[in-house]
């Protein structure tokens, strides 16, 4: 439960960037704890009263269990909803886990918009790339304070469905995580920067 000095430096940089509204790419190599730095960053904003969420974490399905485990360890006060499963499971989550208010999202197996100005029940919603696209009707109707995209090289093509769908979401701050050496592919880097700031990288 002790952060390495370089992780503390990373968290302080993330906090500084967030305070200055500069969307960021955290590109530490694999195994250096990008997940933990991200969770502690989100948790510190919450615990200090700067931002209560909701936060959206979009990750490969294979890493979601790891994200759940690390949230339990490093951010025990967060109410984390893992939004995965078949359409019936997701319908139950939409009905009971997104808001305290009945009928905030219309029940049924088809995703529909959440009613406007309804407070969320959770702090963090953890989901997969695919469900960001499939259930965009619901997820894009929530105003997200911070979006985290794990293994963000999935955004390397601005023509991909995932890239286009995420661009329709209401997001106040974006954090992309990638362990891929960006210097190997300038086009990939450009698309990530375009996703972060389309005004500056057209």
Position 20 scores a pLDDT of 94
- CA Rg value for the chain: 16
CA–CA gap between residue 120 and residue 118 (Å, rounded): 6
Walk along the chain (202 residues) in steps of 10 and give the mean pLDDT of each run: 91 95 86 90 96 94 95 96 93 88 76 81 94 91 94 74 86 88 67 75 68
**Fold for the domain defined by 29-180:** Rossmann fold (3.40.50)
Which residues have C-beta within 8 Å of that of residue 193, sequence separation ≥ 6?
25, 200, 201
Position 46 scores a pLDDT of 96
Position 28 scores a pLDDT of 77
Listed residue (177, 175, 154, 174) closest to 164, CA to CA: 154
Position 182 scores a pLDDT of 58
Listed residue (34, 122, 30) closest to 80, CA to CA: 122
Position 155 scores a pLDDT of 76
Position 112 scores a pLDDT of 75
Position 183 scores a pLDDT of 55
Could you tell me if 56 and 144 are in contact, meaning their C-beta atoms sit under 8 angstroms apart?
yes
Position 184 scores a pLDDT of 59
Position 197 scores a pLDDT of 76
CA–CA gap between residue 160 and residue 21 (Å, rounded): 26
């Amino acid at each position: 439960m002790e952060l390495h000095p370089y992780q503390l430096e990373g968290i302080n940089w993330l906090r500084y960037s967030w305070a200055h509204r500069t969307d960021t790419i955290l590109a530490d190599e694999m195994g250096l704890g990008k997940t933990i730095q991200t969770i502690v960053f989100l948790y510190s904003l919450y615990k200090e009263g700067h931002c209560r969420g909701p936060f959206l974490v979009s990750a490969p399905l294979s890493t979601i269990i790891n994200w759940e485990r690390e949230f339990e360890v490093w951010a025990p006060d967060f109410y984390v909803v893992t939004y995965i499963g078949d359409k019936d499971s997701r319908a139950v989550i939409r009905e009971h886990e997104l808001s305290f208010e009945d009928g905030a999202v219309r029940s049924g197996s088809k995703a529909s918009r959440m009613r406007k100005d309804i407070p969320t029940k959770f702090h963090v919603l953890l989901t997969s790339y695919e469900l960001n696209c499939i259930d965009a009707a619901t997820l894009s109707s929530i105003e997200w304070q911070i979006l985290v995209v794990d293994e963000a090289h999935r955004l390397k093509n601005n023509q991909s469905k995932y890239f286009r769908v995420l661009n329709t979401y209401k997001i106040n701050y974006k954090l992309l995580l990638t362990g891929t050496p960006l210097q190997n592919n300038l086009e990939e880097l450009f698309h990530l920067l375009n996703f972060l700031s389309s005004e500056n990288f057209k």
